Amino acid sequence: MSAIALKLGALLVRQVTRPMANVLKRQAKEHAVFKEICIGLAQKMHVADVVLRSKLTPTKFSKTIRPLNDTKAVENGATLLSEGFVFGVTGSVVVWETLRQRQKELDRREQVTQDIAFLQSEIEELRSTTKTQSDQIKSCQSLKEELKLIQSKLSSHK
């Protein structure tokens, strides 16, 4: 499969999964279990983000990390879940296509190996036939020589 077809396929999968991701995002905001998961994810991401930023831009003051409000946390967590879903689906498609191409290449190599083995057996068979025919030709030539010898003896006796 060409690179353009692969990119178009990935784009198609992304476009198809986007509406499903939006449904997942909406459901995450409405259901209590999903809300809790989203809040937990968003708070952990927020803490990691603040810690990373503070390490990259050191300041003299130590800050306490204030948690996000629930609305913002649910929004961020739902976005993370929906993007994770899209990434998972598109990543799975890419992995599947890679495995399919690999299997196709392995099958092609196996076919080439079988073809080579077949051709080698054909060559050996032809060599054997050639040797047999060569031996038969030599035998015929020696018989021909014997016949000539016998014929010349018979001619000389007359």
Place of tokens 């047999």: 132
CA–CA dist 116, 120 (Å, integer): 6
CA–CA dist 70, 17 (Å, integer): 27
pLDDT average, residue stretch 53-75: 78
Domain boundaries along the sequence of the chain: 3-157
Residue type, 76: N
CA–CA dist 126, 6 (Å, integer): 47
Residues 98-130: pLDDT tens digits?
A: 898 899 999 999 999 999 999 999 999 999 999
pTM (2 decimals)?
0.59
Q: Can you list the alpha helix ranges (DSSP code H) found in 31-69?
A: 32-56
Phi, psi (rounded to 5 degrees) for 58: -65, 140
- Is residue 61 scored above 70 in pLDDT? no
What's the residue count for the chain?
158
